[in-house]
Structure 1
Amino acid sequence: MSYQNAPEGDGPIVTASLGGTSVAGGRGRSASDRRPVAGTGADARVPFLSRRSVRIVGGFVLPVIILAAWQIASTSGAFSSALLPSPAMVVDAAIDLAQRGVLGLFIAISTQRVLIGFAFGAGLGLIFGALVGLSRFADILFSSTLGAIRAVPSLAWVPLLLIWFKIGEESKIILIAIGAFFPVYTIVAAALKNVDRHLVEAGRAFGLNGVRLFTTVQLPFVLPSVISGLRLALAQSWLFLVAAELLGASMGLGFLLSDSSNNGRTDRLFLAIILLAIIGKLTDSIVGLFERWSARRWG
C-alpha cells in the first residue's frame, strides 16, 4: 500500500496491491489525521499479560496446583494407593518401564501411528474440504454422503477394520486417519463457502484465477480456520489412537492403558494418561509453530 500526492486540501490517494496489480483505493487521511498512535514506537511497553515470561510462568500455575493437590490427596490416607497412587509411585513406574526398555518404545510407536494417520487424514480432509468449499458440483456430490459417514461413532469402525486388516498397523492408521479427516474437511469446507464473494470477484477482476486466486485471496481468509481444523484433527487422532490400541494392540500407550487396567496397576494407568497429555500438547505446539509461520507467509 502506498500514498500519492493529491491537490492541496485533499488527503493522499491510497493505492493497494492485489496479486501484483495496483488498485486505486480512494482518498486517505489528511496529514493532520496521520498522527502517531499512542503506545507505538520503540519505547512502547509490551502489556504485562502478553509477555512471554508471564505466559510461560502462568502456564505452569495450574499444573503445579493439581500436582500439589494430588500429592496431598494421595498421602493423606483418604485414598488407598490402589485407587490413587502418589506422584512418586507414578515416577517409579516410569523409571521401571524405561529400564525395561518398553516405555520409549511404546511412546515412539504411538507417536508414529498418530503422525502417519494424521498426515493421511488431514491431507485428504484438506483436499475434499477444498473441493466441496470451492465447487458447487462437488458439494452436491460429496456433502450428504460424507456427512452421514461423519456421524458413525469411532468405535463402530474398529470391528470392521479388524476383520478387514486384522490386528496390524493398517487398521490402526486407517482408524486414526478417519478421526483426523472429518474435523479438517468440515472446517475447511465451511470456511471456503463463507469467503467474502465480493473479495473473490475483486480478485477475478484483476486477473486472478485458479491457484493464484486461491493463494492470494481465499487462503489468507480461511487460514485461521484451517489451523483450527488441524489442531482439532490432531486431538482427534490421539483419541482414535487410544480406541484402536485398546481393542487390538500389543504395544503403545493405549495398550499400556488397557494392560494396566486389567492388572490393577493404577500407577502405570496414571503414567499412560499423563504421557498422552504431554505428548498431545507437544504435537499441538508443533502445529502452533506452523500457525505462526503461515501467518507470516500468508497473513
Structure 2
Amino acid sequence: MSISTAGVVARPETATTSRTPVRQQPRKQRRLPDLARWLSPVGLILLWQAASSTGVLPPDKLASPLTVFESGYHLVLDGSLVDAFLVSLSRVAVGFVLGALVGGVLGLASGLSRWGERLVDPPVQMLRTLPHLGLIPLFILWFGIGEEPKLALVAAGVAFPLYLNLHAGIRQTDPALLEAARVLGFTRFERVAHVVLPSAVPQTLVGLRIALGTAWLSLIVGEQINADAGIGFLINNAREFLRTDVVVVGLVVYALLGLTTDALVRGLERRVLRWRAR
C-alpha cells in the first residue's frame, strides 16, 4: 500500500496560506494625525503674536509670545525660575504623598470591607462635595500661614479622586472571578491580592491622573497664601509690577508640569496594563 506524500505536504501549505496577512498602517499615515494635533495650538500662538504686533492686544493686558519667551529665557538664566520650580515641585510631591496615603488607606478600608464602607464612605462623600479650595481659611486657622496649609490643600485635592476611583475599582471586580478563586481554594488574602487589587488597577490609575491634575490646581491657589518662594510667588510679584509676560511664564510652567506628570502616568498605565492590549 502506497502513501501519497502530496496530501501530507499540502496540509501545512493550506494552513499557512489560509492566514490573512495583517496590514499595518503606513508610518506616514500614522504621523499625520499627530501633526494635525499641533495645528490649532500653533495657529493660536500665531494669532496671539499678530494681535500683539498690530496693537490689537496691548502689552499691559497680555504680553506677546516673543516677549514671554524672552522673559522666560532670562528667568532661567538668572536662576529665579529654576528655584521657584524646585520649590513648587517639592510642595506637590509632599502633598501628593500625603494625599495618596490618606486616599489609598480610606479607599482600601471602604472597598474591601462592608463595615468599612458603612463607616468611612458617608463622611468622605460629604467632605468631597465641599470645594476643597474653600477650605483655605480653615487651613490657615489650623496650620497658620506657613507651608502646612499649602501641603494640606494639595493633599486634599489628591485624596478624594484617588479614594473614589480606588473604591469604585474594588467594587467593580467581576464576581465570577471571585467565585472561581474561591472554588480553587484561594484564601481571602489571596483573592484580594490576586483578583481584587489587579482588577482595581485600571480605575485607580484613572484616579491617579485626576489627582495629579487637581494637585497642580490646588498648588496654584495654595501658593497665593503668603508665599515667599515658588512659582506662585513669582506670579504674585509680577502682578504687582504689571509684568504680564512673567505671569504667563509662570502659568506655562504650571501647565507643562501638569502635562508632564499626566504623560508619566499614561506611560505607567501602558506598561502596567499591557495585558489588556493582548
What TM-score comes out, normalization by structure 2 length?
A: 0.85
SS state at 2:59 partner: coil
Q: Does 1:72 align with 2:72?
A: no
Cα distance in 2 for residues equivalent to 1:271 and 1:143: 41
Is the 8 Å Cα contact of residues 145 and 225 (structure 2) preserved in structure 1?
no
Cα drift, residue 50 of structure 1: 8.4
Equivalent of 2:24 in 45, 58, 63:
45
Report the CA distance shift for 1:219/1:177 in structure 2 as closer, same or farther (over 3 A): same
Question: Where does the alignment leave 5 or more consecutive residues of structure 2 unmatched?
Answer: 1-13
Cα drift, residue 174 of structure 1: 1.6
Question: Where does the alignment leave 5 or more consecutive residues of structure 1 unmatched?
Answer: 1-31
Q: Which residue of 1 aligns with 2:204?
A: 226
SS state at 1:81 partner: coil
Q: Which residue of 2 aligns with 1:157?
A: 135
Cα drift, residue 245 of structure 1: 0.4
Cα distance in 2 for residues equivalent to 1:39 and 1:122: 47
Cα drift, residue 212 of structure 1: 2.7
Q: Does 1:286 align with 2:260?
A: no
The share of aligned pairs that are identical, in percent, is 32
Q: Which residue of 1 aligns with 2:249?
A: 271
Report the CA distance shift for 1:37/1:192 in structure 2 as closer, same or farther (over 3 A): farther
Q: Deviations over 1:32-86 (max 9, x none)?
A: 99x966453xxx41466984x4565344333222221211121122111111211
Cα distance in 2 for residues equivalent to 1:39 and 1:277: 44
- Of Structure 1 and Structure 2, which has the larger fraction of its residues in helix? 2
Is the 8 Å Cα contact of residues 132 and 139 (structure 1) preserved in structure 2?
yes
Is the 8 Å Cα contact of residues 133 and 153 (structure 2) preserved in structure 1?
no
SS state at 1:264 partner: coil
Is the 8 Å Cα contact of residues 161 and 210 (structure 2) preserved in structure 1?
yes
Matches within 5 A, 1:101-120: 101-120=79-98
Report the CA distance shift for 1:252/1:192 in structure 2 as closer, same or farther (over 3 A): same
Is the 8 Å Cα contact of residues 168 and 203 (structure 2) preserved in structure 1?
no
2:199 aligned partner, one-letter code: F
Cα distance in 2 for residues equivalent to 1:109 and 1:65: 33
2:243 aligned partner, one-letter code: R
- Of Structure 1 and Structure 2, which has the larger fraction of its residues in strand? 1
SS state at 1:70 partner: helix
Cα distance in 1 for residues equivalent to 2:143 and 2:128: 21
Q: Does 1:190 align with 2:159?
A: no
Q: Which residue of 2 aligns with 1:99?
A: 77
Equivalent of 1:146 in 80, 101, 124:
124
Cα drift, residue 133 of structure 1: 1.5
SS state at 2:223 partner: helix
2:211 aligned partner, one-letter code: A
Cα distance in 2 for residues equivalent to 1:78 and 1:256: 27
Q: Deviations over 1:1-52 (max 9, x none)?
A: xxxxxxxxxxxxxxxxxxxxxxxxxxxxxxx99x966453xxx41466984x
Cα drift, residue 205 of structure 1: 1.3
Cα drift, residue 279 of structure 1: 1.2
Report the CA distance shift for 1:186/1:39 in structure 2 as closer, same or farther (over 3 A): farther
SS state at 1:82 partner: coil
Is the 8 Å Cα contact of residues 205 and 269 (structure 2) preserved in structure 1?
yes
Q: Deviations over 1:210-246 (max 9, x none)?
A: 4432332223322221111000000000011011101
1:266 aligned partner, one-letter code: T
Report the CA distance shift for 1:298/1:207 in structure 2 as closer, same or farther (over 3 A): farther
Is the 8 Å Cα contact of residues 49 and 55 (structure 1) preserved in structure 2?
no
Equivalent of 1:88 in 66, 81, 87:
66
Cα drift, residue 155 of structure 1: 2.6
Cα distance in 2 for residues equivalent to 1:252 and 1:293: 33
CA RMSD of aligned residues (A): 2.6
Q: Deviations over 1:178-215 (max 9, x none)?
A: 10000010111122112222221111211223443233
Cα drift, residue 140 of structure 1: 0.2
Cα distance in 1 for residues equivalent to 2:44 and 2:192: 46
Cα distance in 2 for residues equivalent to 1:214 and 1:50: 44
